[in-house]
Amino acid sequence: MKGLGQRLENLRERSDYKQKEISALLGFTTNVYGMYEREERAPSLDTLVELADFFHVSVDYLLRGMEYSSEELPTDILDLKRLLKIYRKNGIKNPSILRVEDFTSLSASDLAFLDNIIKLYLEKDNDQKK
């Protein structure tokens, strides 16, 4: 799988992650993920799919180096990753706000209520900083 390691490294850097961060998020040891980037070890098919999903690219791109069809990673994915980094930087390892599966049982009005609370808090925080 010549070139896979370089593509993984480029995707990781473009996503503003360190090897340790990706390893933790995907449940790999740091050493194993580093071996993928150095092409000392080939990931299994399941792992390739997991990596492709994580970086929001196709397995074909990872394996064959076909050009990535979009110019950038989708904004919403990048925004969530940046938000996760902010939480982690401030000591919150598994923020509830990013556990999407926890929100599936909420009604539209519950979600709107939570969204309004967050907006109000952020507006209040911005006003206090001025």
Query: Scanning the structure block, which residue is given the tokens 């979009």?
Result: 70
Per-residue model confidence (pLDDT) at position 71: 54
Which of 22, 13, 63, 18 has its CA nearest to residue 43? 63
| Superfamily designation of domain 4-64 | lambda repressor-like DNA-binding domains (1.10.260.40)
Convert the pLDDT of each residue in 15-71 to its tens digit.
888 888 888 888 888 788 899 999 999 999 899 999 988 888 888 889 888 654 545
Convert the pLDDT of each residue in 62-107 to its tens digit.
988 865 454 555 566 667 777 888 888 888 877 777 777 677 788 8
Domain ranges in the chain are 4-64, 75-129
Neighbours of 83 (CB within 10 A): 13
